Structure 1
Amino acid sequence: MGNSQSKVELYAAIRKDHLLGMSMRSLQRVHNVTWRTVRRALDGKWPEPRKKSRRQESRLDPYKPLIDAMLRADLDAPPKQRHTAQRIFDRLVEGHEARDISYCMVRLYVKDRRREIRRKAGVGPEAMFVPQRHLPGVEAEVDFGDVHIVLAGEPARVFLFSLRLSYSGKAVHRVFASCGQEAFLEGHEHAFRRLGGVPRGKIRYDDLRAAVERVLGLGRARVESDRWTAFRSHWGIDAFYCRPGIEGAHEKGGVEGQIGYYRRNHFVPVPEVASLAELNELVDRWDLEDEGRRLRSRTRTIGESFAGEQPLLRPLPREVFETGRWFTPRVNRFGQITVRSNAYSVPVRFIGRQLRVLLHANDLAVYDGRTEVARHERLSGRGGSRLVLDHYLEALLRKPGAFPGSTPLEQARSAGRFTPVHDRWWTAACAAHGDAAGTRALIEVLLLARHMEHEHVVAGLAAAFRAGALTADAVALEARKAAEGDSGELPAPVPGTGRAEGPAATVTFLSDWRLSHLPPDNRPLPSVAHYDQLLNRHGRRTGNEKEGS
């Protein structure tokens, strides 16, 4: 008949009908019950609660303590490296020979038990949270998150810096090759300048190595790095460090949720970019677009809330804090300097010299005194090298035999700076002039890139190749014509490079070009008439000598 409450109502109805004179048989028929139920109702007894059935033992019972231990260990594990039901089942089968259980048994138990363990530990959706009120312009949160992109045609893992204002939800992001101290400081500086101010209250952090050298005990006391302390003092940052591990994750849940939202909505599908600078331009645009969305049930957008919060931020300091780090390496015999276990090329004229290097998060600049002599995109790993072919051209002019197998040439090909047009012109020049002379001619062409655009030099090579002009002078002249727009449009590429061949080119050699640009010569043509009298004179003298003899 259902639950005990419905039985109570049934017993009351039976007694009421019996008082009206209804017989036992009629009561059974009307209420559709047995005579025992009628008898109990008339005897003044109340229905007893249904007895709970005894739980049957499960084949999973011996393994439940093992499963609980795995789920408790997940409380301190990284979010992306926690046990799934399938992994727990595999461990039970492999490590404990649990052949008598099934995956469905494990999955159903893990589904409810995981939630219960997380609730008891004070984490998860069942944990209790107290709503917080954030004042405008006071608090912010900072964190790093990793994202995957396709950088210059290769898969790469980069790091997304995020600083989020707690009141408005306005967030500023920046992508870096690493999450080191340079990226940490540059991310702050970029965010403060984009926001137009600094929060007046606390900024919440994890124990990032860029800021914290050592955690003291279980409290919030930290030993900060000297550089972070100086940076924090310059910008007036009041740092608040969250508790380590999973216990402190909710203390800056706003920025962690923001990074997840940003990754799902702007990095799916995986973006393909040529450089981090190009990606950061997209990130700046995405930050502006996000100002139009609303957080949860708020009536105002992020941009509208930030417009009221921005005037309440602390003004930016006037002085500039250099976020880069200075090094003074010595150039080795290969024309390279080593910074953070990676090698970078400099012009070979500096071999043996000590130069100054300013290292930033995504690039580094090399200085001789106050003059910048090289700039490279920073390498994030160890043991890598970034070599620029232009830095070695003077040495290769003296040693052309080292050019074909050089590492700078290989990297130039990979970067697209040494094109198939270069290769075809080089092959033809070597066939016409010999390997050494042809290679020197190519190096002289490469030197043109110091004074001309790369595209114009490639156009000059293409035009010179089609006309069979295999000298550096011819290439220089055609490149200059392409730069000045004398030909109307850039010459077509070389046959075999994947594009259609243009009409046959006519190349003006440098000597002809110089003659055509001389001023007009209005002088009369030369004459030898004045020499006739010398001939007559010589003839008379010869005749007199013959007569005298």
Structure 2
Amino acid sequence: MRKLMREKTKTGLTGIAGLKAGMSRNTAAKYLKEGRLPSEMKEVRDWRTRPDPFLNHWAEIEARLTADPALEAITIFENLLDRFPDEYEPGQLRTLQRRIRQWRGLAGPDKEVFFPQAHRAGEAMQTDFTWASKLGVTIQGEAFPHMLCHPVLPYSNWEWVTVCHSESLAALKRGVQEALFRLGHAPLFHQTDNSTAATHDLTSGKRDFNVEYMDMIRHFGMIPRTIAVGAKEQNGDVEAIHRGLKNRLKQYLIMRGSSDFESAAAYERWLWQMLAKTNRPRKTKLGEELAVMRPVTMARLPEFIEVDTRVSSWSTLSIKKNVYSVPSRLIGEKLRVRVYEGRIDVYYGGKMQLSTPRLLGRGGHRINYRHVIWSLVKKPGAFRLYRYREDLFPSLVFRRAYDALRTKLEENKADKEYVRILHLAASTMESDVEAALELLLETKTPISAEGVKAMVTDGDKLAAMVMDAPVVDLLIYDNLLHRQEGCV
């Protein structure tokens, strides 16, 4: 329109002005005559271009919506289809959805209003957990499902992360401490959602802070606060930054050229390097926050909780609703267990007896066959119905060996032979026993405990049988010579 007016002023010719403005002569003449923009010439239509298919039942629909505004259009439409199959068809759902949306805007109930908050420098840190498995990270080729504990300063948007596997107190403690000691300062408030790491249910239906969480927050001189139950928007800053963080990490992984890492520790170090880059543009506002925050001068808290428990007659102990085996010499003894976010350490008499990865969730079990095999070899009949029998297969090779025994022997005899093989693995080297079993399976030789023992005892013979002579292809060297000749 601006170009049309300019060209009309230059030439005085409507047809040429319209042509240069990219419109026909008639359209240009209309706009010049009206003297208004096209957007100003649109008329509001207050009539329908086609009959309303829901006219006969709209009064009923409106009454239902008035009585219960939470009703969705698809629920109402399915009811109409059931009752009046000859009047309605599936393609009319969108029409009803538009009609109900318009009704809600004109006559529906008031909606909840959210009020954006102005953050003050150094006032609070928000911490939340987010799943990061969609990043596709692997550790030495194996999938690495994990979460990130994500503390954020809402004023400057400074953020940090630690790798974890659950929303536990240990994970929260480690994440918060890493952020505080990285900053060297602590804010006035620490805010979380109502996760079980920080809060617990009261009989009144409300939630209160856990004692262990309160101890940690007081240690750093902060005041705990939480959002209302079911009000995720009150933690909106950290929730919004979750998405941005994971998008950036995905881009960094693409630039890195690989999502595989040597270890979880290496992956976390890489995360910290990327977070250092991300926080650079926030340096000015972060400086404002640090100027009003208190320095962190207190010592770092241990990142575990201690649990006292007694070993059962099954040579197991229960920690956080999961079962772990311990050496049978500890049956009946009282142990102290340090529960970290990713592992548990078992102590007796002040000395560590066992360290094992921590199980996630509830109802899991981790049984080390070396802890029970000395009793099981004396009672092989217990193997068949042992509650944790699947844990007694150290690898797929052992499982295949047991299945091969079952095809050749009766169940009781197969169980006995396998238990003896497992006892041999605990007495010697598991890797040697596994190599012997794999060789017997590949050559389809009948498996027996005595046969495996003979192979393991004669280590030189086993090594010679396992080692394959390499096949040398001399054509490779011929190809190299031809390429060199071609270059000359």
TM range (shorter): 0.5 to 0.7
Equivalent positions of 1:55-454 (< 5 A) are: 59=55, 60-64=58-62, 66-67=64-65, 73=70, 86=74, 89-90=77-78, 102-111=92-101, 120-123=110-113, 129=116, 132=118, 134-135=120-121, 137-145=122-130, 160-193=148-181, 195-213=182-200, 223-246=208-231, 249-262=232-245, 282=267, 285-286=270-271, 288-293=273-278, 301-302=281-282, 314-403=294-383, 406=386, 408=388, 410-413=390-393, 417-420=394-397, 424=401, 439-440=419-420, 442-449=422-429
State the Cα deviation string for residues 447-496 of structure 1 (Å, max 9, x = none).
335xxxx65764576679999994547526739x99xxxx8xxx786xxx
Note the C-alpha offset of 1:278: 5.4
Alignment check: 8 A CA contact 1:464 1:470 kept: no
What's the secondary structure of 1:333's corresponding residue?
coil
Give the secondary structure class of the aligned counterpart of 2:243. Answer: helix
- Alignment CA distance shift 1:274-1:379 (3 Å): farther
Distance 2:250 2:75 in 1: 28
Deviation at 1:163, TM superposition (A): 1.0
Cα distance change on mapping 1:157 and 1:376 into 2, 3 Å? same
The structure-2 alpha-carbon separation of the partners of 1:214 and 1:334, relative to structure 1 and needing over 3 Å to count, comes to: closer
Deviation at 1:340, TM superposition (A): 3.2
Distance (Å, rounded) in 2 between the aligned partners of 1:96 and 1:291: 63
The one-letter code of the counterpart of 2:305 is: R
Verify the 8 A CA contact 1:425 1:470 in the aligned structure 2. Answer: no
Contact 2:165 2:360 in 1 (8 A): yes
Distance 2:442 2:44 in 1: 98
Q: Equivalent residue of 1:364, what SS?
A: strand
Instruction: Give 1:103 shift.
Output: 0.8
Match of 2:475 in 1: none
Bigger Rg over Cα: 1
Separation (CA, whole Å) in 1 of partners of 2:288 and 2:294: 14
Displacement of 1:164 after TM fit?
Answer: 1.0
For the residues of structure 2 that align with 1:231 and 1:208, how far apart are their CA atoms? Answer: 16
Aligned residue type for 1:364: I
What is the TM-score normalised by the length of structure 2? 0.62
Residue in structure 2 matched with residue 7 of structure 1 by the alignment: none
1:385-534 matches, within 5 Å, as: 385-403=365-383, 406=386, 408=388, 410-413=390-393, 417-420=394-397, 424=401, 439-440=419-420, 442-449=422-429, 458-459=434-435, 470=451, 472=453, 475=456, 478=459, 502-503=468-469
Q: Distance in 1 between matches of 2:157 and 2:111?
A: 29
Name the CA shift for 1:66/1:236 in 2 (closer, same or farther; >3 Å).
farther
Contact kept, 8 Å, 1:462 with 1:492, in 2: the verdict is no
Q: Percent identity?
A: 19
Q: CA deviation at 1:225?
A: 2.7
* Preserved contact between residue 464 and residue 478 of structure 1 (Cα < 8 Å): no
Aligned residues: CA RMSD: 5.4
Is contact 2:186-2:295 (8 Å) kept?
no
**For 1:129, what is the secondary structure of its paired residue?**
coil
- Check 1:459–1:70 CA distance in 2 against 1; reply closer, same or farther (3 A cut): farther
Quote how far apart the aligned CAs of 1:342 are. 2.6
Kindly tell me: are residues 85 and 426 of structure 1, through their superposed partners in 2, closer, same or farther at Cα, counting changes over 3 Å? closer
| Runs (5+) with no aligned partner, structure 2 | 1-29, 31-42, 254-258, 471-488
Letter in 2 for 1:340: K
1:31-46 map, 5 Å: none
CA distance in 1, matches of 2:302, 2:238: 26
- Measured in 2, the distance between the counterparts of 1:473 and 1:51 equals 94
Corresponding residue for 2:5? none
| CA shift in 2, pair 1:466/1:379, >3 Å | closer
* Structure 2 CA distance for partners of 1:159 and 1:401, relative to 1, 3 Å: same
Q: CA deviation at 1:306?
A: 5.7
Normalized against structure 1, the TM-score is what? 0.56
SS of the residue 1:329 aligns to: strand
Q: Distance in 2 between matches of 1:286 and 1:253?
A: 23
CA distance in 2 between counterparts of 1:446 and 1:370 reads 27
Q: How many residues align?
A: 403
SS in structure 1 at match of 2:160: strand
Secondary structure of the 1:328 match is: strand
Aligned to 1:509: none
Amino acid at match of 2:96: V
